[in-house]
């Protein structure tokens, strides 16, 4: 039996669609999607003849580490997000940690409550989510104070897991914020979502630190970006993906 050598494959086809859905076809070996903030995603088609497509995430700022987060979008599709976090050491903290001035406060009857993370752990978690120096106050409260704050500032008459009050008005202003965690709500959610209480506190602190720096989740695109950064940060800290089963309400709602 003789074998027949296959002829070299032609370059794969790249089909681009404009905003009105019109398609333009071109032969290509790679495609780079450049995002406005310096992140980019390169689709390498050089091994397409073998059915392999490689994805490369990059960041033009050497202080930022680009990453990829892929999540099932439907039964046959994946959504890919390009994340950006500070360069990390093996401990999960930025290679050049931002300066953090931290004040820790406790509401009535909260100090000494079981499961509260110690100050050193709070500092590690917060620094892992900071892109710039920050002055933060973390306050642990009970359900009454949490409900009063949520009602007074957001018009919602219930206690929520985390509230962030960010005080920077302009992009160049120092990162200054109060992050309020309602302990009974955090503890209840951790039980319902079957996750360690420490992991849930870490997630909420990272979430609050991102809000302090201007991140929001008012629409799907913002939420996906914020959740991608949270996931990568939590993984670097040694915790599981907090959204792996999409359990529980979105944070801060």
Rounded Cα gap, residues 70 and 77, in angstroms: 10
Residue 45 structure tokens? 């088609």
User: Is 40 strand, coil or helix?
Assistant: strand
Q: What phi and psi, each to the nearest 5 degrees, are found at residue 3?
A: -105, 150
Residue with tokens 């710039």: 132
Rounded Cα gap, residues 185 and 191, in angstroms: 10
Is 211 annotated among the ligand-binding residues? yes
Rounded Cα gap, residues 145 and 163, in angstroms: 12
Positive or negative CA dihedral for 88, 92, 94, 95? negative
Is 207 annotated among the ligand-binding residues? yes
With CA atoms as reference, report the closest residue to 47 among 79, 9, 76: 9
Is 203 annotated among the ligand-binding residues? no
Positive or negative CA dihedral for 105, 107, 108, 109? negative
Please, are residues 200 and 192 in contact by the beta-carbon 8 Å criterion? no
Annotated binding-site residues read 207, 211, 217
Q: Which residues participate in the annotated binding site for Zn(2+)? A: 207, 211, 217
């Amino acid at each position: 039996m003789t074998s027949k050598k296959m002829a070299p494959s032609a370059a794969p086809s790249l089909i681009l669609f404009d905003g009105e859905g019109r398609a333009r076809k071109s032969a290509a070996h790679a495609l780079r999607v450049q995002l406005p903030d310096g992140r980019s995603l390169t689709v390498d088609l050089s091994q397409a003849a073998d059915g392999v497509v490689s994805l490369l995430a990059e960041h033009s700022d050497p202080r930022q580490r680009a990453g990829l987060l892929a999540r099932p979008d439907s039964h046959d599709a994946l959504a890919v997000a390009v994340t950006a976090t500070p360069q990390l050491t093996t401990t999960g903290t930025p290679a050049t940690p931002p300066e953090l001035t931290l004040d820790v406060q406790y509401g009535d009857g909260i100090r000494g409550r079981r499961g509260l993370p110690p100050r050193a752990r709070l500092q590690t978690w917060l620094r892992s989510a900071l892109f710039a120096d920050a002055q933060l106050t973390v306050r642990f409260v009970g359900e009454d104070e949490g409900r009063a704050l949520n009602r007074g500032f957001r018009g919602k008459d219930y206690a929520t897991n985390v509230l962030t009050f960010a005080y920077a008005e302009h992009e160049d202003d120092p990162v200054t914020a109060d992050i309020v965690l309602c302990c009974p709500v955090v503890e209840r959610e951790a039980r319902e979502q079957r996750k360690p209480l420490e992991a849930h506190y870490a997630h909420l602190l990272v979430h609050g630190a991102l809000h302090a720096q201007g991140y929001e989740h008012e629409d799907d695109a913002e939420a996906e970006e914020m959740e991608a950064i949270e996931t990568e940060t939590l993984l670097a800290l040694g915790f599981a993906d907090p959204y792996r089963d999409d359990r529980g309400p979105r944070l801060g709602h």
